Amino acid sequence: MKVEQCGIILNVYHFDACVAFYKTVFGLEEQFSKVDGDFRLTCLAFGSAYLMIETGGVASAEEKSPAQTATILRFNVADIHAAFNTIRAHDSHARLIENDWGTIVRCVDPDGNPVSVRASAGFIPA
C-alpha cells in the first residue's frame, strides 16, 4: 500500500468553537467544509496532513483524561515562548512545562481535548 496522505479526525461537541480555536490559535487553513443535516465537518491543513473536525464528539469542562481521549495533538514550533503567549490569549490555563527532553506548552481546545506544543529544537537528534 502507498499512503498518499494522512489525517486525523477529531469529533467535537462545540464544533464552531473548536474550528475557530484551531484556525485562530494555530493558523490552520480551511481546505473545505460540508454540512449534511445535523452533521458538519471542516477539514484544515495540518502540515502535510489534515485535521478533520467533525460533529459527534463529547465535551469536557476540564482536560480530558487518557481514558476519555487516547490522542493528544502535537504541534512543533520554532519559538515556544511566542507560542505560549499566543495560546494563553485563548486558554488562560495553558502551562509552559520544562522537561529534560524539551519544553512544551500544554493546553486544551474548547471541548477539553489536550493539545501539546513542543519546541522544535532537539526534537530530532542531530
Radius of gyration in angstroms for the set of CA atoms belonging to the chain, rounded to a whole number: 15
CA–CA separation, 110 and 17 (whole Å)? 6
Pairing of strands 7-12, 49-55: parallel
Domain 7-59+70-119 CATH assignment equals 3.10.180.10? yes
Q: Which helix (H) or strand (E) holds 102?
A: strand 102-108
Domain extents in the chain: 7-59+70-119
- Span 48-95, pLDDT tens digits: 999 999 999 999 999 999 999 989 999 999 999 999 999 999 888 999
The SS3 call for residue 16 is helix
Q: Is the pTM of this model over 0.85?
A: yes
Pairing of strands 30-36, 39-46: antiparallel
At 50, the amino acid letter reads Y
Write down the mean pLDDT value for the chain. Answer: 94
Q: Which residue has the cell 454540512?
A: 35
| pLDDT band at residue 126 using 50, 70 and 90 as cut-offs | low
At 99, the amino acid letter reads N
